[in-house]
């Protein structure tokens, strides 16, 4: 088994450099590296700032090459972990991807589950055993009405026009219906915030920003970019809005 000690040392140094960006990067989280049909789990021991090998866990599902994700490891005390393949360590951008997934660990550990259960779309998915709804929800991305309304929303954000933003949001709420609207806001909050932190890290260390999804045709990744833009707008108006992610979510869904 490869130790990855050099890679982890580089990650810890990068984390030390950029952690002041937001409290979501306040600590390091477990990392599960895909190795054929198992996860190799690495974690920090209490009081230490060095990753060490903890255990090997059989993959609970097929994991594609290049995966960058975060989810609880049932066989590791249910702890949230950043899940990656070894190629994540091939570039500085890959290390930043790990920090992006650490943001998701922070969301999960602080408020994600409580917020999720305020959404009818999430409760329905849970009741029907659809555990992949955040990825597989059948959203009407390619409809003309959605495209027009979402472009109006992005236009309002670019022009810093709250009335236009609110008008576009109401139009989206009316057209999409409850489940699709909740899904859109959820992705904008969850992935948009992680993208917001990611790009602040990239600016700090001189990497090009991640702008995937910022142009049509729209897809789930568009909510990463749209959510980041909306959060940046709200933060410019009120710098405290990102201190409590519950408050941020409420502002985004009621705007």
List the one residue out of 186, 81, 209 whose CA is nearest residue 124. Answer: 186
List the one residue out of 177, 153, 150 whose CA is nearest residue 166. Answer: 153
pLDDT by residue (tens digit) across 53-109? Answer: 999 999 988 888 899 999 999 999 999 999 999 999 999 999 999 999 999 999 999
pLDDT by residue (tens digit) across 192-242? Answer: 999 999 999 999 999 999 999 999 999 999 999 999 999 999 999 999 999
The answer to whether 96 and 198 have CB atoms below 8 angstroms apart is: yes
Domain boundary among 62, 83, 105: 105
**Tokens at 225, concatenated:** 């970019």
Domain boundary among 75, 105, 135: 105
One domain, residues 200 and 155 = yes
Dihedral sign computed on CA atoms, order 112, 117, 122, 123: positive
Query: Whole-model pTM above 0.85?
Result: yes
Domain boundary among 53, 72, 105: 105
Give the pLDDT of residue 246.
98
pLDDT by residue (tens digit) across 62-73? Answer: 888 899 999 999
One domain, residues 159 and 235 = yes
Rounded Cα gap, residues 61 and 63, in angstroms = 6
**Tokens at 17, concatenated:** 């450099």
pLDDT by residue (tens digit) across 1-13? Answer: 568 999 999 999 9
The answer to whether 248 and 234 have CB atoms below 8 angstroms apart is: yes
Q: Which residues pair with 55 in a beta bridge?
A: 41
Starting at the edge strand that comes first in sequence, how are the strands of the sheet with 51-58 ordered? 51-58, 38-44, 31-35, 79-84, 68-73
Task: Work out the number of other CB atoms within 10 angstroms of the CB of residue 206.
Answer: 7
The answer to whether 73 and 79 have CB atoms below 8 angstroms apart is: yes
Give the pLDDT of residue 2.
65
Q: Is residue 38 part of a domain?
A: yes
Dihedral sign computed on CA atoms, order 222, 97, 255, 182: positive
Q: Is residue 111 part of a domain?
A: no
Q: Which domain holds residue 144?
A: 117-254
One domain, residues 138 and 181 = yes
């Amino acid at each position: 088994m490869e130790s990855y000690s050099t890679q982890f040392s580089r990650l810890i140094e990068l984390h030390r450099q950029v952690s002041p960006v937001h409290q979501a990067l306040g600590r390091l989280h477990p990392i599960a590296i895909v190795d054929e049909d198992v996860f190799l789990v690495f974690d920090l021991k209490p009081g230490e700032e060095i990753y060490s090998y903890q255990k090997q866990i059989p993959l609970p599902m097929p994991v594609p090459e290049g995966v960058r994700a975060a989810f609880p490891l049932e066989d590791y005390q249910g702890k949230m972990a950043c899940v990656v393949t070894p190629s994540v360590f091939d570039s500085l951008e890959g290390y930043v991807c790990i920090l992006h997934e650490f943001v998701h660990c922070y969301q999960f550990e602080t408020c994600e589950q409580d917020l999720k259960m305020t959404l009818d779309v999430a409760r329905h998915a849970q009741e029907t055993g659809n555990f992949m709804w955040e990825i597989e929800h059948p959203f009407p991305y390619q409809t003309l009405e959605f495209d027009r309304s979402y472009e109006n929303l992005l236009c309002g954000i670019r022009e810093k026009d709250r009335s236009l933003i609110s008008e576009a949001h109401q139009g989206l709420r009316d057209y999409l219906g409850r489940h699709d609207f909740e899904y859109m806001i959820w992705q904008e909050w969850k992935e948009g915030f992680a993208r917001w932190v990611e790009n602040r890290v990239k600016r700090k260390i001189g990497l090009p920003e991640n702008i995937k999804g910022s142009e049509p045709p729209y897809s789930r990744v568009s909510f990463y970019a749209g959510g980041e833009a909306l959060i940046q707008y709200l933060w410019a108006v009120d710098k405290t809005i990102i201190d409590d992610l519950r408050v941020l979510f409420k502002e985004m869904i009621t705007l």
